[in-house]
Amino acid sequence: MQRIRSFIAVEIASSVTKRARALIEKLKTPGVDVNWVDPQQMHLTLKFLGNVTDADIPEICRVVSEAAASVEPFEIICRGLGGFPSSADARTLWLGIEQGNEELRELQAAIDNALKKEMGFAKEARGFTPHLTIGRVKGGSDEGMAELAAKLAEHMSYDADLSVVDEAVIFASFLGRSGPTYEALAHCPLA
């Protein structure tokens, strides 16, 4: 039986990914090694499933479709910039969600709860913090990291536009030398 690395996410409007691409260019800093997310691959992850069997995919699609149908479509505004664990010591660079957080949490919880109840998937251990990852910092010089922190502070109110959330998508993730690529396995419309 084949195993498929998979996750559930919300796709982002092209206007947001274009603005994210422009922001990435502003944030590139000499002396800091960052794996930048390809804007064409950007998404808001709702739940990482890990390696699932290909035989489980149809049932996952059914469960997620039913859960997504319980939530009304909504809009999110992508605004704000920061880093985890902090902007001063960023390992993950992200765009924030200024509007639509509660709706995203409702959608994530509906999917998380349904997958736990019907298929036994473990629920997320830590709280869901909606964000759009734009890069992962691998390391850098002290000067480079300080410059990156200054750029994050300079763009902390960055406006990346609005996106409509009207479906959840189940993706397969394939790891390669040039980074991960994603393939949509199913589109699950909201109510």
Question: Would you name the residues annotated as active-site residues?
Answer: 43, 131
In terms of residues, how long is the chain? 191
Report the C-alpha gap between 22 and 174 in whole angstroms.
Answer: 26
CA distances from 96 to 121, 137, 173 (A): 27, 17, 23
Alpha helices in the chain (DSSP H): 14-27, 57-68, 101-119, 142-154
Sign of torsion over alpha carbons 63, 64, 65, 67: positive
77 beta partners: 99, 162
